[in-house]
Structure 1
Amino acid sequence: MSAQTFLLPDLGEGLTEAEVVRWLVAVGDEVVVDAPIAEVETAKSIVVLPSPYAGVVAELHGAEGSTIDVGKPLITIDLQPVSVGPAGISATPSLSADSATSASGSTAGEAYREEEKAGSGNVLIGYGTPEGAASGRRRRPRARANGHAVGTLVEQRPREARNASPVTGAGSAASTEDRPRVPLVISPLVRRIARDAGVDLRALTGSGAGGLILRRDVEAAIAARSTVAAPAAPAVEETTSGAAGVVDARTGLPELRRTGMSGFRKAVAATLSRSRAEIPEATTWVDVDATALVELRESLRTATDAGPGLLALMGRFVVAGLRKYPELNGLVDGDDLVQYDGVNLGLAAQTERGLLVPAVPNAHTLTTRELDAEIRRLTEAARAGWLTAHELSSGTFTLNNYGSFGVDGSAAIINHPQVAILGVGRIIDRPWVVDGELAIRKLTQLSLVFDHRVCDGGTAAGFLRFVADAFENPTSAFADL
């Protein structure tokens, strides 16, 4: 029996390392080709790695929470023939819902399979997973750029969608009832918080749809436990004693805590630093009367159809503006200024992991209703941790609705290598002069930050004014789109 060591693969986007979030196998477990072996976190997303070998796990090269460089050993497998289940995923037991639980299946393996049904993240493919296998995984429709398919990740479907078909077979119900309760958790961050705090997820009842355990459920359990333990260990004393030995020389104050940056925060810091270091940015802004835009939004709402949201309407006008002023829809490549024939509209989304900017591919080809559906899908995927690396890196321009945080304006940092970002402040009632008369109108502020290398102020002002005019006269603007 020979052994093969699987090196951490290049996960794309120039990433050089990944953190082991969770091992899905243990030493001694049997695996087959494409069996999930580890969940890792890159700076871009959470990825489940499949095994390229069939055999018995001999060694895991790194503990959970450790960082492994690309090209370094991840797992060693002793090669041997292993029977393949009907799903082509595991010899013990199959992921098929109507299969009886095999006696050789470990509790850890069963737990993973149940959690995978709930949608644990993005799965790296390319090791032979058959299309339409009984594992329940489906290939994500690949985004297309200029007619060419791109992307190499598939999305795990939520439990509700994957368990839609009826379960058949006499032994199925009994085997399902005998299985240990596996918590329904999608977010790797939620699992990590629970693990670090010693919270047993199996004891929690999720407040999300279908019993989904959310971050607030874990934090409530931690808070409840802390309240019980408070008399024995006051929080103030713990904080003081924990930092008593470390005093900052500059301020003379004790450090409250010191934590290392995660791979995600490192990537964010590197991108923002590079943006500020390389891009000679300039900012221009304008106050806009969005009363007609809000009224149009309300007119599209019916008893049975919520209609496109405000962000979709804004995005539609932004896309139209970029088609008119393509200088802002490109990048700087050395001495070349590149403009794209199409728009992948990036949308800033605040999540538990931090600020993410997924992109709606080919937004210029979508209707307003289709754009709204994509925005909602991407927002949900961002918060659940289902975004692919392609969705997080393919944007050509970013729309940032920071008004949702209750602020009026911001000079945002351009999302490198893009060359512009448009921010939208909160929409609020304010006095405004209309036809020489003072009136109460719904005002917002648009703020455009742009790379001065790609255009001068006239072009930036023209784009900003185009979008502002569309906000103020949306019906007229739609007539020209």
Structure 2
Amino acid sequence: MQTFHLPDLGEGLTEAVLVRWAVAVGDEIVLDQVIAEVETAKSIVDLPTPYAGTVLALHGEEGGTILTGAPVIEVGDGSAAPDTPAAAPHAAEHEAYRAEEQAGSGNVLIGYGTGAGPAKGRRRRAGTAVRQAAPANATPSSATPEAARLRSDRPVAVRSPIVRRLARELGIDPATVAPSGTDGTVTRADVLRAAENTASQASEPVAPLGAEPSQLTVISSERFSPLRKAVSATLSRSRSEIPEATVWVDVDVTRLWELRPDMAAPGERAPSVTALFARYALLALEQYPLLASRIVGGGTELALFDGVHLGVAVDTERGLMVPVIPRADTLSLAAIDGALRELAATARDGKMPPERLRDSTFTVNNYGGFGVDGSAAIINYPNVAILGIGRILERPWVVEGAIVPRRIAQLSLVFDHRVCDGGYAAGFLRAVVDLLEHPLTAYPRV
């Protein structure tokens, strides 16, 4: 029997959500056959098997989380019948493991996986007593005073960094968790049990006091998806590390709006509004390259690049994604428009590979598509600036002393104040406005 463990799916990702199984127990599978579809913080990917044979066991349920290094599927190669003496010990071991897994005892340290051969006991120095494992349904509240005393007298044993990370994400102090590992180790199941107890206590109705409004009761809770966790971490880091400032301006894009239908080749679609704004922003970055740079050296140096990797915010059913167009500064308007359409379709299908979601140096966000005029955007860390585009509306505008209807949009630029001052940022935004309001002046370069 061979066990396939979840590999690192890219950039050190620690877990994946099982979207669906593509095989069932008893199926015959071949090498590289897709056995499941999993969702990571980056995209939804097919998971191929490195083994061929008969599916003996599937680990995990659809919608559940599988940690990197944890078993995914067990495959038999048919070399030994299940009832042969050689296979009996292994089958017994397998059944014990499955029972333990279903009970949630957590005696197998998540993140380390199981070996291909028979399990071996942990080596201990002579004279070291073996602590009795806690029952699978043990909770901190049901622990005995003696167990509590032992826990208070020892350091917290959390060997797996994945378990430590899980505890940190759930807001659980490992020192308050009753361990169930055979040698006093706090396991993943222990942390999850403690989190459930905390949630159940928090959801108990609270009696109203005097004239105060009654408390609301939690009716459900939903864990963040891998993508939402990644977005949360990036945005939190941006807010905590970047001293950002914002400048904004209204721009008259009437002339660009009128020219746009004629910019398409015969039989082709006109370039999108996002492509037009992005192309003119890239031209302005040639004059203001600091806004496409990156802070390095622990915040003491500024790295400037010989081009721009353009990130484009895309809203998907899974959440916000920022796919990247490499060396966008070298592309024509038509090439940028084609790349944007392809990126948007791939991102919304959930098939965006991780390598296309990194290394951006400047970001464009067209939130006007949501019907809003402006937004205080958050910089896509580690970028130092993001350009926001509001919706284009027909508004009364004063032109040469007369009030006339014009197509107006609001642009906003959020920038890292460590990189430049307001005058530099305003100069960039003004350069973009000049290009948009007089699009033919730069048309040979577009």
User: What does residue 434 of structure 1 align with?
Assistant: 399
User: What does residue 35 of structure 2 align with?
Assistant: 37
State TM-score, norm by structure 2.
0.66
Q: Note the C-alpha offset of 1:287.
A: 1.1
Q: Which of the numbers 458, 461, 464 marks the counterpart of 2:426?
A: 461
Q: Is the 8 A contact 1:360 1:374 kept in 2?
A: yes
Q: Is the 8 A contact 2:45 2:351 kept in 1?
A: no
Whole-Å Cα distance in 1 between the matches of residues 277 and 308 of structure 2? Answer: 14
In 2 relative to 1, CA 247–360 (structure 1 residues): closer, same or farther, beyond 3 Å? farther
Q: Is the 8 A contact 1:307 1:369 kept in 2?
A: no
Residue 374 of structure 2 is aligned to residue 393 of structure 1: no
Whole-Å Cα distance in 1 between the matches of residues 423 and 252 of structure 2? Answer: 22
Q: Note the C-alpha offset of 1:56.
A: 2.3
User: What does residue 280 of structure 2 align with?
Assistant: 317
Q: Which of the numbers 317, 340, 343 marks the counterpart of 2:305?
A: 340
- Cα-Cα RMSD: 2.2
Amino acid corresponding to residue 328 of structure 1 in structure 2:
L
Q: Is the 8 A contact 1:54 1:80 kept in 2?
A: no
- Once the two structures are superposed, the pairs formed by residues 233-248 of structure 1 within 5 Å of their partners are 247=205
Whole-Å Cα distance in 2 between the matches of residues 454 and 435 of structure 1? Answer: 38
Residue 305 of structure 2 is aligned to residue 307 of structure 1: no
Residue 333 of structure 2 is aligned to residue 368 of structure 1: yes
Q: Note the C-alpha offset of 1:11.
A: 1.3
Q: Is the 8 A contact 1:346 1:357 kept in 2?
A: yes
Q: Note the C-alpha offset of 1:301.
A: 5.0
User: What does residue 210 of structure 1 align with?
Assistant: none
Q: Deviations over 1:307-337 (max 9, x none)?
A: 2222211111112222332211132222332
Q: Which of the numbers 365, 381, 406 marks the counterpart of 2:371?
A: 406
Residue 440 of structure 2 is aligned to residue 475 of structure 1: yes
User: What does residue 58 of structure 2 align with?
Assistant: 60
Q: Is the 8 A contact 1:43 1:267 kept in 2?
A: yes
Whole-Å Cα distance in 1 between the matches of residues 273 and 404 of structure 2? Answer: 23
- Once the two structures are superposed, the pairs formed by residues 107-256 of structure 1 within 5 Å of their partners are 247=205, 252-256=215-219
Q: Which of the numbers 405, 413, 416 marks the counterpart of 2:381?
A: 416
Q: Is the 8 A contact 2:244 2:417 kept in 1?
A: yes
Amino acid corresponding to residue 345 of structure 2 in structure 1:
E
Q: Is the 8 A contact 2:38 2:44 kept in 1?
A: yes
Residue 35 of structure 2 is aligned to residue 72 of structure 1: no
SS at match of 1:418: coil
Q: Note the C-alpha offset of 1:480.
A: 5.0
Q: Note the C-alpha offset of 1:251.
A: 5.9
Whole-Å Cα distance in 2 between the matches of residues 248 and 22 of structure 1? Answer: 39
Whole-Å Cα distance in 1 between the matches of residues 73 and 412 of structure 2? Answer: 49
Q: Deviations over 1:56-105 (max 9, x none)?
A: 22222222222121122222222359xxxxxxxxxxxxxxxxxxxxxxxx
Q: Note the C-alpha offset of 1:30.
A: 2.2
Q: Deviations over 1:404-426 (max 9, x none)?
A: 11111111011112111100111
Q: Deviations over 1:177-203 (max 9, x none)?
A: xxxxxxxxxxxxxxxxxxxxxxxxxxx
Amino acid corresponding to residue 247 of structure 2 in structure 1:
T
Whole-Å Cα distance in 2 between the matches of residues 390 and 465 of structure 1? Answer: 33
Unmatched 5+ stretches in structure 1:
82-244
Q: Is the 8 A contact 2:294 2:382 kept in 1?
A: yes
Q: Note the C-alpha offset of 1:355.
A: 1.7
Amino acid corresponding to residue 438 of structure 2 in structure 1:
N
In 2 relative to 1, CA 76–449 (structure 1 residues): closer, same or farther, beyond 3 Å? same
Amino acid corresponding to residue 356 of structure 1 in structure 2:
M
Q: Note the C-alpha offset of 1:427.
A: 0.9
In 2 relative to 1, CA 466–67 (structure 1 residues): closer, same or farther, beyond 3 Å? same
Unmatched 5+ stretches in structure 2:
80-202, 208-212
Whole-Å Cα distance in 2 between the matches of residues 269 and 459 of structure 1? Answer: 30
SS at match of 2:286: helix
User: What does residue 443 of structure 1 align with?
Assistant: 408
Whole-Å Cα distance in 1 between the matches of residues 8 and 240 of structure 2? Answer: 27
Whole-Å Cα distance in 2 between the matches of residues 419 and 251 of structure 1? Answer: 45
In 2 relative to 1, CA 336–32 (structure 1 residues): closer, same or farther, beyond 3 Å? farther
| Percent identical | 56
Q: Is the 8 A contact 1:248 1:255 kept in 2?
A: no
SS at match of 1:18: strand
Residue 21 of structure 2 is aligned to residue 23 of structure 1: yes
User: What does residue 357 of structure 1 align with?
Assistant: 322
In 2 relative to 1, CA 280–318 (structure 1 residues): closer, same or farther, beyond 3 Å? same
Q: Note the C-alpha offset of 1:259.
A: 1.9
In 2 relative to 1, CA 13–323 (structure 1 residues): closer, same or farther, beyond 3 Å? farther
Amino acid corresponding to residue 291 of structure 1 in structure 2:
T
User: What does residue 275 of structure 1 align with?
Assistant: 238
SS at match of 1:471: helix
Amino acid corresponding to residue 466 of structure 1 in structure 2:
A
Q: Note the C-alpha offset of 1:253.
A: 2.6
Whole-Å Cα distance in 2 between the matches of residues 459 and 306 of structure 1? Answer: 36
Residue 325 of structure 2 is aligned to residue 327 of structure 1: no
